[in-house]
Amino acid sequence: MKKVININFQGRVIPIEETSYEILKQYIESLRRYFVKEEGMNEIVNDIESRIAELFGEQLKKGSACITDEHINSIIASMGRPEDFDAETADTTATAKETSSQQNAYSNSSTGYVGPDNSSTGQNYSGSSAYGSGSNQRYGHSRGKFVRNEDDKIIGGVCSGLANYFGIDPVIMRILFVVLFGAIFWVYILLWVIVPSQSLETNITRRLYRSADDKVVGGVASGLAAYFNVDIWVPRVIFALPLILGVVSGTFNALWWDWDFGFVPRMVTGSLGSTLFLTYIILWIAVPVATTAAEKLQMRGERVDLNSIRDTVKNDMGSFRHRAEKWGEEVKQTAEQFGERAKKFGEESGTYAKRFSGEAAPLAKKAGNGIGHIIGVLFKAFFLFIAAMIALSLFGVLVALLFGGFTVFPFTNFILEGTWE
């Protein structure tokens, strides 16, 4: 009986046999030695480890209690060993040299060259690379029996089984069932009841992801373009068609009030537009983003192995470097243009300030004299107002005393003589 340990591998807790863990460690170390001279070695190895962790998760989802030596060897065989790629590279180089010599012999024979055996050959040879197009290889799909997928199910495994039967990503089938839920609800129930379920070995090499490299809003359109192998503008135009027709129809209605744009545009901007908008939102929420090199290869339906992951990582790094350099150049040009504009604005401001000061000095002097005269008049008016108020107050007091004297005059004898008489 082998000892089973739990390891934390790329953020996943993986139960694995101890001997299998040693095989995995040796394989990872061989990858580090193989890619040690490659730019972005850590990113390449990290993406390979992420792919291995995904394969571990698939094995455990199928019901395996732990990862065994058989699982490890199968994964390594599918990913490839560094020494295998070295041998294939050497075979490719030898094949290319042989093909080149054969083509040279053919071209010489066409100009009258006779070989050592006094015979000329008219055959045209074309070499083939042992691995040259391996990273771009796409695999066909052979349909088997339609069953519900026991290993990859959310409710009953119907969508996963249909996706495996037609060779498409289960995410697409699930989204179709969600969008058309009201119309095909009973179809799902019948398939759930009638169709048997069993464990399926997935044969899907192309997965639906949202693209993080060519996204405008959420990367849904670029992911669909990569999945269906079409130009990226096609899904974008399809999703934007209701908005485009709505703008055009609104423009015509604004110019010609009696304009009737027809039934089809109203249908597109109405029910179909709402359906496309809802579909985009569902795809944005349900479909993950392709972040690792393995996910980007699966999105394009390409083979996932060591060399393809390496090429994808290097391309991503080159693309990022190009975007960074382009952004740096744009920032530099913008800063230079801003500096030139600021300098020009400063010079124009200085010239305008000098001209304004020369023209405004006489006006300011004249305005200053006028303001001084106004202040003097206001001060004089205020002083006269205060003096008038004081004079009026004194006059009031004098009148009060005068009338008070006339009132008190009859009592003068009583007040002055009093009781002394």
Which sign does the torsion angle of CA 86, 92, 96, 102 carry? positive
Is residue 275 domain-resident?
A: yes
Domain that holds residue 278: 210-302
If asked whether residues 231 and 199 sit together in one domain, one would say: no
- Name the strand (E) or helix (H) holding 289: strand 289-290
If asked whether residues 71 and 25 sit together in one domain, one would say: yes
Is residue 314 domain-resident?
A: no
If asked whether residues 10 and 57 sit together in one domain, one would say: yes
Please give the torsion angle defined by the CA atoms of residues 171, 229, 309 and 167, in that order, rounded to the nearest 10 degrees: 40
pLDDT in tens, 244-303: 777 776 666 666 655 555 554 555 555 677 778 888 888 888 888 888 877 888 787 777
What are the Cα distances from residue 138, in Å, to 80, 135, 336? 17, 9, 49
Amino acid letter, residue 48: I
If asked whether residues 167 and 237 sit together in one domain, one would say: no
Asked if residues 6 and 23 have their Cβ atoms less than 8 Å apart, the reply is: no
Question: Please, what is the Cα angle at 191 between 149 and 188, to 5 degrees?
Answer: 100
Give me 86's structure tokens.
């070295």
Mean pLDDT over residues 87-102, rounded? 52
Is residue 307 domain-resident?
A: no
If asked whether residues 2 and 65 sit together in one domain, one would say: yes
pLDDT in tens, 182-213: 677 888 888 888 888 887 766 666 788 888 77
If asked whether residues 200 and 219 sit together in one domain, one would say: no
Please tell me the pTM assigned to this model: 0.50
Cβ contacts of 144 within 8 Å, gap of 6 or more: 165
Flag the least confident range among 5-14, 221-230, 342-351, 367-376. Answer: 367-376
Is residue 180 domain-resident?
A: yes
Give the pLDDT band of residue 139 (cuts 50, 70, 90): very low
What is the DSSP-derived secondary structure letter of residue 260? -
Is residue 99 domain-resident?
A: no
If asked whether residues 233 and 253 sit together in one domain, one would say: yes
Q: Which of 153, 173, 204 is the C-terminal boundary of a domain?
A: 204
Give per-residue burial for 389-409: e unless 16+ CB within 10 Å, then b: eeeeeeeeeeeeeeeeeeeee
| pLDDT number for residue 197 | 82
Give me 290's structure tokens.
């392709």
10: exposed, middle or buried (C-beta count within 10 Å: 0-12, 13-18, 19+)?
middle
If asked whether residues 19 and 79 sit together in one domain, one would say: yes
If asked whether residues 163 and 181 sit together in one domain, one would say: yes
The residue that leads in pLDDT, 411 or 70, is: 70
The residue that leads in pLDDT, 15 or 365, is: 15
Cβ contacts of 235 within 8 Å, gap of 6 or more: 220, 221, 222, 224, 225, 228
Q: How many domains does the chain have?
A: 4
| Mean pLDDT score of the chain | 72
Asked if residues 280 and 204 have their Cβ atoms less than 8 Å apart, the reply is: no
Give me 277's structure tokens.
């908008």
| pLDDT number for residue 24 | 92
Does position 157 have pLDDT exceeding 50, yes or no? yes
If asked whether residues 6 and 82 sit together in one domain, one would say: yes
Is residue 113 domain-resident?
A: no
- DSSP-assigned states of every residue in 145-172: ---EESSS-SSSSHHHHHHHHHTS-HHH
Give me 287's structure tokens.
């479909």
Amino acid letter, residue 68: T
Does position 372 have pLDDT exceeding 50, yes or no? yes
If asked whether residues 280 and 224 sit together in one domain, one would say: yes
- DSSP-assigned states of every residue in 311-355: HHHHHHHHHHHHHHHHHHHHHHHHHHHHHHHHHHHHHHHHHHHHH
If asked whether residues 187 and 249 sit together in one domain, one would say: no
Is residue 49 domain-resident?
A: yes
Cβ contacts of 190 within 8 Å, gap of 6 or more: none
Q: What's the rounded Cα separation, in Å, for the pair 5 and 14?
A: 8
| pLDDT number for residue 201 | 67
Is residue 285 domain-resident?
A: yes
